[in-house]
A and B are shown apart, each in its own frame.
Chain A
Amino acid sequence: MANGVVAITEQRDGAFRKVSYEVVSEGRRIADALSCNLTAVVVGSGVEALAGEIQAFGADAVLVLDDPGLADYRTDAYANGVAAALAPHAPAVVVIGATAQGKDLAARLAARWDAGLAMDCTAVAVQGGAITCTRPMFGGKIFADVTIKGAPQVIALRPNVMPIQRVARSAVVETPPVQLGSVKTTVVEKQMDTGGKVELTEAEVIVSGGRGTGGNFGPLEELAAALGGAVGASRSAVDEGWRKHSDQVGQTGRVVSPALYIACGISGAIQHLAGMSTSKVIVAINKDAEAPIFAKADVGIVGDIFQVVPEISAAVRKIKS
């Protein structure tokens, strides 16, 4: 009989990514609703110290998979290691962050387990022991409420959505021998951004620019810096070559849910709106009062971004100092 909730965390270079706290917090809420235990899984190399940190978010047990072969994420090594470690647990529910890593791992594990997977969920509700997950489809144009048949029910949670909750526990920490199995992939190089840039999907604030920037993202960068946020872009701005593909917000780009999304010179094509519609507060600044973006915004400003945005940066800096 499948029992218990497992939350698979994600760390990079020995530090948890924010989504890990979200996943364990949500795992705790699901476990409470099902009256069962929550096991957090930590995977990596030299990560034993992380077990203590994650207890504070409500795990009853922490399973640490510590092996040099798990230093960098590789689908086969992680899937083999996690599947072997979880085999004796036979969990009813597995939650994981829907990040680049989490989506890849969740899909591989679900196939191995012949299990249903609800990807990129923005809400999880438990009623009478039954779990309903809400997930945006068509890039957020439609929301689906889904249930999963069988066990485990694999639920990947959209980053930046689930509230983080501290629930102090003293968890049992287990460090089982790691069974990597056959690993064929190798990581030959990592090219990571430096300089403490805020990652788009983790950012609390995103300042995004479109065609209206004419390619000048300087004032947007400045506002993002003042707000401690990240800079995004519309598809047209990326197609023009003004920004990298990884900055693109939209149905064919990144799907983001920051607390504050400031759209500058973005008209609001359906496929762009799809990528940011779950943002908590949306501010639109555009010269064209008829731009469709205003229909999806909470606060609108009709004006020249090159005049307004620097003033906003100045006002933000003033209020913060």
Chain B
Amino acid sequence: MDIVVLVKQVPDTESLVQIAGDGVSIKKEEIKWVMNPYDELAVEEALRIREAKGGSVTVVSVGPQKAQETIRTALAMGADKGLHVHDPLAEGSDALATAKLLAAAVKGLAFDLIICGQRGVDEDNYQVGAAVAEFLNIPQISLVNKAEVLDGRIRCHRVVEGGTVVVEAPLPALFTTQRGLNEPRYASLPGIMKAKKKPLEVKTVAELGLDPAAVGAAGRKVLIQALRLPPERKAVRMIRAETPAATAAELVRILHTEAKLI
């Protein structure tokens, strides 16, 4: 089984995200950058499948120079090799353009299965996995919390509102991760040392054979006009009553007569 994992470097979810001076991007300096948590699940699942079935795990990422840290993290967890799409022409890509870059990069690799996060927890687009599958003309199964590789097929438990649907697709296929799939391992110290020597190839937009006008800031179809902070709530109103019963009565009164929610 040759498995490709798509990863992205994103701000840690505990980070405070601030808007930059241009009003359309975020301040990148004071942020702790990590592997997208859903991609950690993808790397872990790929490693488990390789451990069970043999084969290889290749990690692919699009991003600035710094994104190589995330590829190295995946290599330290145990992936075999990395591919970094790194090109100023690719910067500022939206989700669709990112998927074009990733699909072009993956096309040059031998693969039976692609695993990626259901979404990046930065822009929350939920888009790249499905678009890569479309561009490669392979089936996709999203939001998977259990996957079994069968003979030439993959069987995935897909989490939907109010339940789970078990879906099968022939390989090659792509699936995206949901929490519950596994518990990602930490990179061990020997793993981190080994990762430094693992192959990590860098490709440009031209090397991928893509039209520069279709990717990067130039290729964006979704244009960010403004970023803003969510509307502030009014100051909290504390209920201070003598007893739990009186507190509850006051809350229910507010919700019933003022907010009209009960």
Name the interface residues of A59-109: CB closer than 8 Å to any CB of B.
Answer: 72-76, 79, 98-101, 103-104, 107-108
Name the interface residues of A217-244: CB closer than 8 Å to any CB of B.
Answer: 227, 238, 244
Name the interface residues of A163-204: CB closer than 8 Å to any CB of B.
Answer: 184-193, 197, 199-202
From known contacts A142-B228, A185-B169, infer whether A118 and B262 are also in contact, taking CB-CB under 8 Å: no
CA distance A307 to B15 in the complex (A): 34
For B14, the closest partner residue in chain A by CB is: A270
From known contacts A75-B141, A270-B16, infer whether A144 and B227 are also in contact, taking CB-CB under 8 Å: yes
Chain A residues lying within 8 Å of B227, measured Cβ to Cβ, are 137, 142-145
Binding site secondary structure of chain B: mixed
Chain B residues lying within 8 Å of A299, measured Cβ to Cβ, are 236-239, 251, 254
Min distance, Cβ A200 to any Cβ of chain B, angstroms: 8
Q: Please state if A307 and B239 are interface contacts (CB–CB under 8 Å).
A: no
Binding site secondary structure of chain A: mixed
Q: Mark B86-124, 1 if CB is under 8 A from A, else 0.
A: 000000001110010000000000000000000001111
Q: Interface size (B, Cβ < 8 Å)?
A: 83
From known contacts A111-B135, A299-B251, infer whether A116 and B165 are also in contact, taking CB-CB under 8 Å: no
For B94, the closest partner residue in chain A by CB is: A116
Q: Please state if A107 and B165 are interface contacts (CB–CB under 8 Å).
A: no
For A19, the closest partner residue in chain B by CB is: B161
Chain B residues lying within 8 Å of A277, measured Cβ to Cβ, are 230
Chain B residues lying within 8 Å of A184, measured Cβ to Cβ, are 139, 169-170, 173
Min distance, Cβ A123 to any Cβ of chain B, angstroms: 11
Min distance, Cβ B7 to any Cβ of chain A, angstroms: 16
Residue from A193, A270, A284 within 8 A of B163 (CB atoms): A193
Q: Mark A233-260, 1 if CB is under 8 A from B, else 0.
A: 0000010000011101001110100011
For A201, the closest partner residue in chain B by CB is: B161
Interface: A132 (CB within 8 A): yes
Q: Please state if A146 and B223 are interface contacts (CB–CB under 8 Å).
A: yes
Min distance, Cβ B41 to any Cβ of chain A, angstroms: 10
From known contacts A136-B124, A141-B17, A300-B237, infer whether A146 and B162 are also in contact, taking CB-CB under 8 Å: no
Q: Please state if A136 and B230 are interface contacts (CB–CB under 8 Å).
A: yes
For B138, the closest partner residue in chain A by CB is: A184
From known contacts A116-B96, A311-B244, infer whether A108 and B130 are also in contact, taking CB-CB under 8 Å: yes
Name the interface residues of B210-262: CB closer than 8 Å to any CB of A.
Answer: 220-230, 233-234, 236-240, 244-245, 247-249, 251-252, 254-256, 259, 261-262
Q: Please state if A100 and B161 are interface contacts (CB–CB under 8 Å).
A: yes
Q: Please state if A199 and B161 are interface contacts (CB–CB under 8 Å).
A: yes
For B226, the closest partner residue in chain A by CB is: A145
Chain A residues lying within 8 Å of B228, measured Cβ to Cβ, are 142-143, 145
Please, could you name 22 A-B residue pairs with CB atoms under 8 Å apart, sorted by A? A104-B140, A115-B221, A116-B96, A117-B125, A117-B127, A119-B125, A119-B127, A139-B13, A141-B230, A142-B229, A146-B224, A185-B169, A188-B166, A192-B164, A202-B161, A238-B179, A245-B180, A252-B13, A255-B124, A271-B13, A271-B14, A315-B249
Seen from chain B, the residues whose Cβ lies within 8 Å of a Cβ on chain A are 11, 13-17, 19, 26, 37-38, 94-96, 99, 121-131, 133-135, 139-143, 145, 155, 158-170, 173, 178-180, 220-230, 233-234, 236-240, 244-245, 247-249, 251-252, 254-256, 259, 261-262
Top 3 A-B residue pairs of the complex, sorted by shortest distance between their CB atoms: A116-B221, A107-B130, A311-B248
